[in-house]
Structure 1
Amino acid sequence: MNGNAGNDVIEGENGSDTIDGGPGADMMYGGNDGDTYFVDNIGDSIVEFADGGGIDHVFSSVDYAIGTAHIENVTLTGDALDVFGNDLDNLLVGNFQNNFMDGGLGSDTMRGGAGHDIYFIRTPGDTVEEDANSGTDTVRTLLSHTLQANFENLELLGNENGRATGNNLNNRLEGNGARNFLEGMNGDDTLFGSNGNDTLDGGVGADLMNGGPGSDNFYVDNAGDRVAESRSWGGTDTVFASVDFRMGRSHIEDLRLTGNAVLGAGNGLQNEIRGNNGDNVLDGGKNNDTMMGGNGNDTYLVRAPGDEVIEAAGRGIDAVKAFRAYILADNVENLFLQTLRNDAGQGVTGINGIGNELDNTVVGNPFDNVIIGREGRDTLKGQGGADTFVFDRALGSSNVDRIIDFNVNTPNEGDMLKMKGAVFGGLTAGSLSSAHFRAGTVAQDGNDRFIFDQGTGRLWFDADGSGAGTQQLVATFEQNAVVTATDFEIF
């Protein structure tokens, strides 16, 4: 049935009718059974009733909203852009334009065409379909949703917590103002968390993840992954990285290494960095950071005075590389003092190192260091500079240190031994009297307190100076060390 150029009223009969009102604002009544309508004017109206039976189909060359009519299917033609379904289970089909399709409240099927289409999903039963290479297509929804094949973008709307999952393409996923879980899957994805405390996981590929305001969690599994956070957004953001990760300038506070990641580096904020079961290198950066290595032989780079290193007992052989004076934390074995330079490029002195109750290795830098082993059988090495080795703990077989490169081959290179008077009794504070030092193997008279055996490199202390009592071994020196009375100071 065809109308003319006027505003026609066309009534179908029983049976499957085809009605085309033609130009003008037409009123079309299909009657019973499944009817087909052609709409070409925004003023066209269609009347179908629920008891009419059949599946009714509209072909529209203008934007079309089914409204209350009992129509199931709409296909856009010509230059039509938008189509809106109703409460039924609609089939909406786009054209070659950039279409917007909203199925309404039923369980709808929406199929786009060659353009850049936008789909609004309202119910869990909605299905959207796209062919490959047919534009850049977007799903908008109030629900959690997984992108079907050939869709690029997904936007969560509303204020409910939701999950957005991508596909094998390079997806763009956007959250809403609630708590979202955005998962990119394959492809090089871009994820935006928006407001709320979100979790962003780009999946396989080199992904860009932007958390937005709130305390967000990011999962990084590719060296090309990037995390973006702004200082103005607030919250405490955490990265879980299964690959080496440097925070850089991103406004991220915390980092957790997982999987096979080795390196975790902080930024200018106060970071908390946790290692995994591997041999990690943890670098807090410029601010006062907390670093926890976990299992493995971990290395910590300490740059700020307030950096804190936390290690549990029995979890590997751990080391600190300190750019500041540093006292080894509990359960950390080794300390290596690094070179700190001022703005003029000159090395800074006063980078001193102190051990703990373990058997430590403490190594200085090329400048003047104070090195204190404390308890344990420590290995102490000054490197360059005039270094001072301090002994301030009770003597015993479990507290004999090994000193490397002390005044090697030449006396008076500047290295010193500083002894605590309360430990080495009977000595006056200040420079050691030459009468209290003997080169040899045992004390010879009542004044001999320190005995240095050049042949073995062993330094002994004799409390009575006569050799009658047992001499106690203080330290062992290596590399042809030359030790004289002038190298000692009592405090």
Structure 2
Amino acid sequence: MPDSQPSTNEIGVVTGLTGQAYAESESGSRALEPGSPIFEGEDLITGPAGNVEVRFIDDTLLSQGANSRITLDDYIYDTSESSASELLLQITEGTFRVVTGKIAEQNPERFKVGSPLATIGIRGTITVHEVIAGGAEKHGVEEIHSGKALIIQSNITGGIRQIAQPQGIVEVFASGALGLVRPLSMQELQEFRGIAPANIRQEQEILNQQDEDEDTPDDDQQDEGEGQDGDALPEDVNPGGGEPEGGEGGLQGANGLLPGQVIEPVVKEPLERGQPHERPELGATPPPQPKGEKQDDPKDDPIDPIDPINDPKPTPITGKDDNSNSNTITGDDNANTLTGTSSADIILGLGADDELYGMDGDDSLYGGTGEDLLNGGEGNDYLSGDAGKDILTGDDGNDILYGGTEDDKLYGEEGADSLYGGTGKDILNGGLGNDYLDGGTSSDDVDFASYSDALASVSVDLSTHTATGADGHDTLVNIEGVIGSSHDDVLTGDDGDNRFEGLLGNDVINGGDGSDWVQYETLSSDYNLTVDLTNTTTFVMTPDESVTYISSLTSIENVLGSANADNITGSNDENILYGNSGDDIIHGLDGDDTIFGQNGNDFLFGENGSNSIDGGSGFDTVSYIHSTTDVIINAVTGSATHGGETDTIAHIESFIGSDKNDNMTGSTGNEHFFGGKGNNVIDGGDGIDTVSFAGSTTGVTFTISSGGEATVTHSDGTDTLSNIEGFTGTADIDNITGSSGDEIFNWSLENDVYNGGGGHDILSYASFYKEMTINMTAEGVGKATEGSPSSFEDTFTNIQHVIGTAQGDTFNGLTCSGSETFQSGKGIDTINLDNLAVSELEYTSIASSGDDNYDQIQNFKSGQDYFKFSGNFDSSAKTSTFATIAGDYSGSDDLFGGDEDAHFVFDTNAQKLWYDSNGDEAGGNTLIADLDTNITIDDIHF
């Protein structure tokens, strides 16, 4: 359609816009944007995510929600002849909020709103309207002046309703019948106010101007209807020739009641605010947005209780300032840095990740799409993040911040600020001053009020919507979570599901009704965490316990731990317990609990009840040592039956049974089993599976047959094994003989004897905590000694592969012909080879090398001995350039023509082997070994 204007009678201007909005007339359609003029006779239309707001020249304010259409039929504003002024709005469909201006003051009889089902006579007031195309309608008032009334007449029946008190509303049914006057619900109030963020600010500006004008009152003006019992209908509203609906007579006074009608008490706004927010802005819908293109509604994800809270206070923003006049500053689809002037600016970020600085003056900043950073600077500013994950900072002044879609962070700083999260999981930090925080109404998102930077204690009560203390007296709406200060706070929930991050300090936390959380994911690594819901206590302390904080917990059902090694114990009710990062210990106790280990090597106890246990990443263990009955574990089906209850298990690598006769079945993965006492049956399934007899007080002696089968008698019973490839003995003397297959024997204390049998067998000391000395006396034969003098000495035969510890081991290779494999761990190992044997030196992790972990290798024979790399070493390094350098290698010596591929580098002077993960890019260089001879690329295998 052509971009056109229907007439030259400009009657208003767009004050705010989100998504798609158009002005349409007989001559065509034009896209609207903030600042667009509005003309008489146009239709205003919004799309599915659209929201447009208009200020007319008489200060009437119109706010229009999504999927809405309204016609500006008649508009006359005559300052010289007030009786000539009129305004007629014709609603087709959608949601609207109207604040009357000077036309309603001058000529209230000629200020009307029409709809398919009703005609509404309006006096000085704020009205709200919802019209469903082909369906029912709602018309009501948010505020109304004393002595005024809103009059609704059915276009079908002629029935009449009058609303003379604030926050009342009337349904008009599709038949034309009128419902009773009822209170406007808080949800409805929030929805109507949510479409008007820009015009709510315009209201304040108009009120301020009126206050200034009171010094020069106009004696000719008077308050129409003053002293009347009720307002009559406008002269062109036809009552249908019949009695008003609901009874005989007419309207009774100004109460909006018909004879015999009973009205429920009008709902007043429950939350009171101090100046300057006597009428707090509620709601969480899109604010003005500068772009005309369509903004799709976000798809809200279900609540993820493990989403981390990240509330870093942004660095104070400074920027260029000048004394230019106010203007509109517009970015583009690139990432822009836009700086305002010392006057009132409009700054539009549009696309990409922008930085907007308002500086001085009362500025309006719109981030647009992308993850934007907005700072209002001094003055009373309006900031809208729009789409993307944005960070908004109000700075000084009484600011309005609107996050928009996705997960935003809002910081009011000083002043009495209003913060609106919008959709997404938002963090709202009002800062100093009496602030208003509204997280938004999305049922799937958890919004936090944060006091992390408060200089002293705070008291937050979500049930009364208040927060008091060091940061002032705040009002909280649609807030589900609280981040406290690092002082002694009192945090109280409501009847919903709340979350509390107390931070440091001796806090008192009461969740109230609902399923409530405490969470500690921002706790620094300087502290250990112990949470015990049975004793309603949390301990946060330094490792030496020199600093300890003790918090009291009431009505808390769920826990999210820290990034450290936590100890978490549930209650006898149903709990959700998350370990977060770190090697955690979690006890569910009674109740049907949900336990998530998450990152780290966790130790999980479901205990009584039918529990859901998920280890997450890492090497995780589930224990049934508490069970008083036999346990049946099946890793294939992900189930564990104990005491008549059945747990669901996932991502578990290690299983501990009870003291009874247990039955354990592994999956296709690599699992560890500890049967404990009793006569246990353990089937490892596929994968490389390990059984431990560490709990036995006597040594074990057994021989493994093909298929990993064995019968093992221990101090408390006899276990039957199948499909087991790995074995860990006792703290006594063990004698274990392998089969013709491949086995792994893990160290244990005392002087053990290992015979690998046939196949390729491994003896591992990877988890041992002291240095070992390995002496090979023949191929596959040798001794492994701990310390000097020895605490124990293992003897082995038919062992082809020895894995060292994470300490500094000594490996003395064969002095005769044969082959051997030594796998180095961390620590500086000493490896003494002999030219007669073929030696394989294996490295499986970059972390096993480096300045503190490289190996010292003697008598390496190039062309016979070789290095073997696997794990997180990049195999492409074998085919990349093998560079030599005569001197120390820094990691960025420009040896590879600038490429960033993995390479090996050999220092021919010092005879050191390096691995570089990123070529000529700085860093990435890791020292592998210090040799006494030169090597070539052919000595490196993958």
TM over 0.5: no
Which protein, 1 or 2, shows the higher relative CO under an 8 Å CA cutoff with sep ≥ 6? 1
Greater Rg by CA: 1
Name the TM-score, length of structure 1 as normaliser: 0.43
TM-score, length basis structure 2 = 0.24
